[in-house]
Structure 1
Amino acid sequence: MLNEYLRKILTSRVYDVAIETPLHIAPFLSERLGNQIWIKREDEQPVYSFKIRGAYNKVAQLTEEEKARGVVAASAGNHAQGLALAAKELGIKAVIVMPRTTPDIKVRSVKARGARVVLHGDAFDEAFAYSQKLVAEKGMTYIHPYDDPEVIAGQGTIGMEILRQMKQPVDAVFVPVGGGGLVAGVAAYIKALKPEIKVIGVESTESACLAAALEAGQRVTLPEVGIFADGVAVATIGEETWRIASECVDEVITVTPDEICAALKDIFDDTRAVAEPAGALAVAGVKKYVERYACEEQNLIAVLSGANVNFDRLRYVSEVAEIGEGREVILAVTIPEEPGSFQRFCSLLGKRPITEFNYRFGDSEHAQIYVGVKVGPEPGARAELISELRAESYPVMDLSDNEVAKYHIRHMVGGLAPASVTNERLYRFEFPERPGALLKFLRTLGKRFNISLFHYRNHGAASGRTLVGLQVSDDKIEQLQGYLLELGYPYWDETENTAYQLFLR
């Protein structure tokens, strides 16, 4: 088997359109992990994904009769763009069937590469069924995204390039796994020539079909898959890819969506590349591998498989990346409901940056706050912070691993003011995003007026945005104005703001 795939890979016709992508060292990640971490940059392909390799290799080897009838695929992802470009380069008619729910940017990308797009059905299964109808009625050739020997061989050229480019001994290569075409091709080549090199598949915990198959000893179908890492959202490993992977893949590591987000940030920090979630799987796997085996001074290579990410996805990624890295702690803390409480609490945090602070007046005795705090990368930093707060008699609950708290409650803390909140005025502030700015704010106002509402989030900008509710009687408004001038931060009175009146008053 390996000799046959070695021949196929060595004779693949991928370089008519694909490029030999660079292999880059990741300096920050390498220093942090104590190993040499290398990134194989498949995001630099013409379609920003490795898929062009397999698609082109398959289409290039069709007979003239098959080429004349055209090719078809059902896909809403990278395979669609790879096949569209491959067919365009070879002058072949291509039809890509996509669900009607496919984002417009993906539809436009496929059309821009010369393929005809047919929108059919609301889910992939319906699109796939229609593509098979075109095969039956028009004799078009269906190009499978992963479960085809020529597609697998095309992807295997990545393994060939890695061994050619890497001048130092390689300890392990980490490969994202969806349907298995990429890991099968890379593993087949590496194991044929360098069987001592580990090939490690990396899957999302939401779609770990290879891990499930290895545990069962046969292909299985997952009951459901998550689509955060949509490029690998496959329920069943391919038949041919399973045959290869079951013999050639040394281990499978699964990673969570939070860990994928942290890896996306690592990739950006080291390369300035914005990977797609599936593209960052391998880097997330490297980090987990190093932690699991405590290895040092090894050469570990991660395949960055693609960069086709919707821009609106980046907001979610940035919010959870620090949590996925273990560098942000989300806490629910109970503090006394009295002037100066916020200041005393923030003083205990020391120089740890606050990433988020949410509070709404509840009763006259206790205040329940939702706070995000950055901690250092060293082991135990999270536990140390919690211990310090509890030592000062603060009731603390760690919500860092609470899915509801991370993705929902943080946006819902607050609500309408209880009847006991009187004379509330709302102010919006901007203050410099530097250590001590928030404490200065609290020292100036927090001891003099009761804070009935507080919301702050770190936006990564030079100025922090804060919304504050202050209980100020009419006879104290002039005094408040003096303190605001003393504070020196830009502010706006939002007491008559429509949104505030509708949802918070």
Structure 2
Amino acid sequence: MITLNDIKEAKKRLTNTVLTTPLMKAPILSKNLNAEVYLKEDNLQITGSFKIRGAFNKVAMLDDTKRQNGVVAASAGNHAQGLAFAAQHFGCVATIFMPEATPLTKVSGVKSYGANVVLTGENFDEAYAAATKFAKENNKEFIHPFADDAVIAGQGTLTLEILEKIEDIDHIIVPIGGGGLISGIAIAAKSINPNIKITGVVASGARGMKDSFEARLPIDSSSVRTIADGIAVRDVTPKLLEIILEYVDEIVEVSDNETANAILFLLEKHKLMVEGAGAVATAAIMHNKVNIENEKVCAIVSGGNIDVTMLSLIIDKGLVKSFRKMNLIVTLMDKPGALMHLTEIFTTCSANIVQIDYDRNSIKLEFGEAHVTISLETKGEEHQELIRENLKQNGYRYKQI
């Protein structure tokens, strides 16, 4: 059984190596929701994620023989980087098994700490099976990313840091994948003050722990699919579920669209680069999945290792949803001056063209017609309505995409 003392001892091992990350107030969320909302910014950790806490604590507790034999892990990326850092710090070899679709930024991060990387399997669970087999066959210490007492105790140090700053916190909201983070946080919080509410947040595309929590027995997901790859865990570990049933008050879920909104919000309003898993707690607050009125609330921003391609896609979709970008397909006559006349309409409306493509060969077109696919920078919903009205007045057929 993991105790508060285990977590306090873990904090001592992490001192002077693992960062005490900022706990910052979120003024917009606080004002909009009539609460005091704080963000625990563990995306600013040395390896970009809270996972270094548990991995470092575990390796620090190994004896010299086990360290010399080397350590092995399976990870979607963040535990891998945490373990690679810890192994490098203690002078042992780390071999990390990662799903084949792991973002390049996470693979590169692991390799930068000197670890060996093996890409295998379609998800965490398949990588996990390969890693445990390798560790057993080669007499190496397997470091589980969440179902390990030392790892859980390390993650629980987040609670100690929160309560050092805000003793009277009412509510902590935590991402859930395998459950190691919320287990450590909840054990520490409830041991210090049983009245602190603990809410877990899963991705709607990886809701195994939520289903298990509600059924009070392990229910594995048939498949997982979410942009929050750090919490895309298919199978539920009975030990973690037992802890969560005892210490966690509720579990909610957020969609990928809600997570993407939170990523963009944190980037724009808080200047924080946050990955999907790191944004789900904020997403739950933004989209009213939890009742926090008149409370002091802390959302755990658990990681920031987002793939740049994914970030670009999220930003682009976010601009469209917030009426700052407008994508159109306009049909016009394929003749000299037709395109110039179209662009003059956008100039009149003060809309800036950022991308344009001219197609005269589509089989959907009548002879003598062309399609222009165009992206515009716009200044809100009213501005877009003005553009649509001008296109109609000038006789253009168009489709907004």
TM-score computed with the length of structure 2 as normaliser: 0.83
Aligned with 2:396: secondary structure?
A: strand
Q: Superposed, which structure 2 residues align to 1:382-401 within 5 Å?
A: none
How far apart in 2 are the matches of 1:242 and 1:96?
25
How far apart in 2 are the matches of 1:299 and 1:157?
19
- Which 10-residue stretch deviates more, 175-184 or 200-209? 200-209
How far apart in 2 are the matches of 1:155 and 1:43?
14
2:301 maps to 1:356: no
**2:345 aligned residue:** none
**1:494 aligned residue:** none
How far apart in 1 are the matches of 2:375 and 2:169?
51
Q: 1:292 to 1:99 in 2, by over 3 A?
A: closer
**Count of residue pairs brought into register by the alignment:** 370
Alignment check: 8 A CA contact 2:77 2:110 kept: no
2:53 maps to 1:25: no
Alignment check: 8 A CA contact 1:70 1:93 kept: yes
2:310 maps to 1:313: yes
Aligned with 1:312: secondary structure?
A: helix
**1:299 aligned residue:** 296
**1:270 aligned residue:** 269
Q: 1:128 to 1:451 in 2, by over 3 A?
A: same
How far apart in 2 are the matches of 1:266 and 1:69?
45
How far apart in 2 are the matches of 1:433 and 1:121?
43
Alignment check: 8 A CA contact 2:146 2:152 kept: yes
Q: 1:216 to 1:360 in 2, by over 3 A?
A: same
**2:346 aligned residue:** none
Q: Superposed, which structure 2 residues align to 1:236-385 within 5 Å?
A: 236-289=235-288, 293=291, 295-321=292-318, 355-356=325-326, 358-359=328-329
How far apart in 1 are the matches of 2:107 and 2:300?
26
How far apart in 1 are the matches of 2:385 and 2:120?
57
Alignment check: 8 A CA contact 2:71 2:142 kept: yes
**1:495 aligned residue:** none
Shift of 1:132: 2.4
Q: 1:125 to 1:192 in 2, by over 3 A?
A: closer
Q: 1:227 to 1:428 in 2, by over 3 A?
A: closer
Gaps of 5+ in 2: 333-360
How far apart in 2 are the matches of 1:316 and 1:92?
38
Q: 1:212 to 1:451 in 2, by over 3 A?
A: same
Alignment check: 8 A CA contact 2:325 2:376 kept: no
Aligned with 1:82: secondary structure?
A: helix
1:264 is matched by which residue type in structure 2? Answer: I
Q: 1:237 to 1:322 in 2, by over 3 A?
A: farther
**2:135 aligned residue:** 135
Q: 1:65 to 1:266 in 2, by over 3 A?
A: same
Q: RCO higher in 1 or 2 (8 Å CA, sep ≥ 6)?
A: 2
Q: 1:450 to 1:9 in 2, by over 3 A?
A: same
1:284 is matched by which residue type in structure 2? Answer: A
Alignment check: 8 A CA contact 1:279 1:307 kept: yes
How far apart in 2 are the matches of 1:200 and 1:123?
26
**2:117 aligned residue:** 117
How far apart in 2 are the matches of 1:273 and 1:158?
18
Q: 1:46 to 1:438 in 2, by over 3 A?
A: closer
**2:199 aligned residue:** 200
Q: 1:150 to 1:452 in 2, by over 3 A?
A: same
Aligned with 2:106: secondary structure?
A: helix
Q: Superposed, which structure 2 residues align to 1:88-237 within 5 Å?
A: 88-120=88-120, 124-167=124-167, 169-237=168-236
**2:9 aligned residue:** 11
Share of identical aligned residues, percent? 34
Q: Superposed, which structure 2 residues align to 1:415-494 within 5 Å?
A: 416-419=363-366, 422=368, 424=369, 433-434=378-379, 447=393, 450-453=395-398
Aligned with 1:306: secondary structure?
A: coil
2:54 is matched by which residue type in structure 1? Answer: G
How far apart in 2 are the matches of 1:39 and 1:199?
15
How far apart in 2 are the matches of 1:5 and 1:281?
27
Shift of 1:229: 0.8
Cα deviations by residue, 1:394-428 (Å, 9 ceiling, x for unpaired)? xxxxxxxxxxxxxxxxxxxx964443x64x46778
Alignment check: 8 A CA contact 1:73 1:144 kept: yes
- Which 10-residue stretch deviates more, 19-28 or 121-130? 121-130
- Which 10-residue stretch deviates more, 129-138 or 204-213? 129-138
Alignment check: 8 A CA contact 1:259 1:321 kept: no
Cα deviations by residue, 1:232-261 (Å, 9 ceiling, x for unpaired)? 011223233222111000111111111111
How far apart in 2 are the matches of 1:417 and 1:261?
34
Shift of 1:199: 0.7
How far apart in 2 are the matches of 1:275 and 1:16?
24
Give the alignment's Cα RMSD to 1 decimal.
Answer: 3.0
Alignment check: 8 A CA contact 1:29 1:266 kept: no
Which one has a bigger Cα radius of gyration?
A: 1
Alignment check: 8 A CA contact 2:331 2:372 kept: no
**1:477 aligned residue:** none
How far apart in 2 are the matches of 1:225 and 1:122?
10
Alignment check: 8 A CA contact 1:260 1:281 kept: yes
Q: 1:284 to 1:70 in 2, by over 3 A?
A: same
1:216 is matched by which residue type in structure 2? Answer: A
How far apart in 1 are the matches of 2:160 and 2:85?
23
1:20 is matched by which residue type in structure 2? Answer: T
How far apart in 2 are the matches of 1:202 and 1:288?
12
Q: 1:313 to 1:196 in 2, by over 3 A?
A: same
Q: 1:278 to 1:427 in 2, by over 3 A?
A: closer
- Which 10-residue stretch deviates more, 258-267 or 178-187? 258-267
Aligned with 1:37: secondary structure?
A: strand
Alignment check: 8 A CA contact 2:97 2:131 kept: yes
How far apart in 1 are the matches of 2:212 and 2:91?
39
Cα deviations by residue, 1:305-353 (Å, 9 ceiling, x for unpaired)? 0001001102332344479xxx75xxxxxxxxxxxxxxxxxxxxxxxx5
Gaps of 5+ in 1: 329-352, 363-413, 458-505
How far apart in 1 are the matches of 2:390 and 2:239?
68
**1:373 aligned residue:** none
How far apart in 1 are the matches of 2:162 and 2:384?
49
